[in-house]
Amino acid sequence: MSAHIVDLNTEVALKSAVFRDLPRDQVLPLIRDAKQREVERGSTIFYQGETAHSLFIILDGWVKLYRLSPCGVEAVVSVLSREDAFGEASAMPGEVYSTGAEAVADSHIMQIDAQSLWSAIKENPQLCHALLGASVSRNRALVDQLEQLKSHTGAQRIADFLLGLCKTEHGACTVVLPYDKGLIASWLGLKPETLSRAFKRLQPYGVSISKNRATIKSVERLIRFAEEDPSSSRKDAPLKSSSFTQS
Amino acid sequence: MSAHIVDLNTEVALKSAVFRDLPRDQVLPLIRDAKQREVERGSTIFYQGETAHSLFIILDGWVKLYRLSPCGVEAVVSVLSREDAFGEASAMPGEVYSTGAEAVADSHIMQIDAQSLWSAIKENPQLCHALLGASVSRNRALVDQLEQLKSHTGAQRIADFLLGLCKTEHGACTVVLPYDKGLIASWLGLKPETLSRAFKRLQPYGVSISKNRATIKSVERLIRFAEEDPSSSRKDAPLKSSSFTQS
DNA sequence: CGGGCCCTTGACGTTAGTCAAAGAGCGTGG
DNA sequence: CCACGCTCTTTGACTAACGTCAAGGGCCCG
């Protein structure tokens, strides 16, 4: 009961997916040893292919994980924020990072040294189980993304993205785009131009964008669109010049 | 030294990514308790969304992991064979399978009950670490696939697929397609018709297909094509009638 | 006011999907 | 042995989706 007063950053780290199911007193020593870093927008946290030296937890800000293809094209694999962990590969000695990591906003991150992590794992098997859980759930996220890419159109992926930002499950909703459109495009596997046009295609379904704010007239309708079979794009739905509050 | 004579199936299981780094005597009891099942082509091993009740290891045959979108479209996420493990989610109590699993050829699989797995993990933390390793490497495979989908054309993905089947890294090579083209198409995120046409586009790069056999004239040339920036599809590359051992 | 930067628009080309039909292999039964 | 139906694969013609290139518009900041 002595050191139950911990700073706010530690509090955030304790809530991360990796640590939240573990008893506090097992995690605290690990966190105390960890470095806390301020990284500014645009700076690289690690490179793809580098030996995995640390596990990271985001205390505040935004970080993208991306992949560079041999010809230099970038594909964003994840966009993470507060309480998310990344660099789980560091739990396996000798492993390398399969993606690069870069701050896309000024961020505050916690960096846990791989050696400390390994010794903590050795003393405390539950930690390994927690990491496994984190890895399994990242897995699911990747599979979700694969499904999106393989079976949905760009416009549907945007719809899904907006719905993910939405708190309610019915009625109307206004959401703020959490980062710039270029990054959203890359995350959804589109070019900025295509994203821009795809946003327009959502208008007939009651979505309008202005600046970084999206207004959804009916969440149900958008869900219906997002889940629709792309091949059933017969002209029934779009209804072009009609009925809508166009300016 | 008593029971070092184990049957061939056990031998295969011991070589799987999950178990190969563990001491034999820690794994053997787990394997002995496991069920061995014959599953025939087309039969479902588990459904997406089902509670994860077992870990599986393929002793022989082929299994696909796939995802069904709400509208019923199937997206193949992995195609696995001998020595591959799947259903790692079963290591986490309460977790559900994020994909379905179906045998795509008559197969022989080992099924390890989740409860046995958990108690084995409890007694032997190294096992948990091994599972984490398996999960991290599946992760990498998923990220690879995402990169392929986001930054390469269909023809390039096929090239990459063929190169993965190729043993040599230079010169000529003939490979046998391991399963039918419909499945290859789905795995690469293409329709069968598109796959068929995309194969043709590889002809100028020295690839020809007949039946289920692909002949690659020059692995280097194919690698160059697979890594090329899709946007540089100006007609410079094809270099039609020149310098190369064209028949 | 001017120069970046991000985002949007337009015109156009490429890539992949759709629908429909025809060919190729294969087992069955006559 | 051959016709038959079955499934897998290929083709063709057309459409939709997405990318590319180039030009403009809004916005922030010096």
Looking at CA atoms only, how far is residue B7 from chain A in angstroms? 30
Query: How many alpha carbons lie under 13 Å from residue B198 in its C-beta half-sphere?
Result: 23
Instruction: Quickly count: other Cβ atoms within 10 Å of residue B141's Cβ.
Output: 13
| pLDDT per position as a tens digit, A104-163 | 999 999 999 999 999 999 988 999 999 999 999 999 999 999 999 999 999 999 999 999
Nearest to B70 by CA among A147, A172, A141: A147
On chain A, the residues whose CB falls within 8 A of the CB of B125 are 121, 125, 128
Other beta carbons within 10 angstroms of residue B129's beta carbon come to 24
CB contacts of A67 in chain B (<8 Å) are 143, 146-147, 151
Instruction: Report chain B residues whose CB lies below 8 A from the CB of A131.
Output: 132
Task: Evaluate if the CB of B42 falls below 7 Å from strand D.
Answer: no
* Cβ atoms B73, B124 nearer than 8 A: no
Q: pLDDT tens digits for A65-102? A: 999 998 889 999 999 999 999 999 999 999 999 999 99
Q: How many Å apart are CA A26 and CA A21, to the nearest integer?
A: 11
- Mutate one of A97, A139, A188, A232 to test the B interface: name it (highest B CB count within 10 A): A139
Q: How many angstroms separate the CA atoms of B42 and B40, rounded? A: 6
Residues B34-73 have pLDDT tens digits of: 999 999 999 999 999 999 999 999 999 999 999 999 888 8
Going by their DSSP bridges, the two strands A213-216 and A207-210 should be labelled as antiparallel
| Structure token digits, residue A40 | 């500014």
Can you tell me the distance from the alpha carbon of B129 to that of B26, in angstroms, rounded to the nearest whole number?
13
Binary contact (A146, B143; C-beta < 8 A): no
How close is the nearest chain B Cα to the Cα of A78, in Å? 10
B49 beta carbon to strand D: under 7 Å: no
Please give the C-alpha separations between residue B162 and each of A176, B88, B174, in angstroms, as whole numbers.
44, 28, 9
- The string of pLDDT tens digits covering residues B92-101 is 999 999 999 9
Mutate to test the interface with A, among B137, B142, B152, B157 (most CBs of A within 10 A): B142
Q: In chain B, which residues from 168 to 227 place their CB closer than 7 Å to nucleic acid strand D?
A: 180-182, 192-193, 195-197, 199-200, 209, 212
- H or E element in which residue A186 lies: helix A181-188
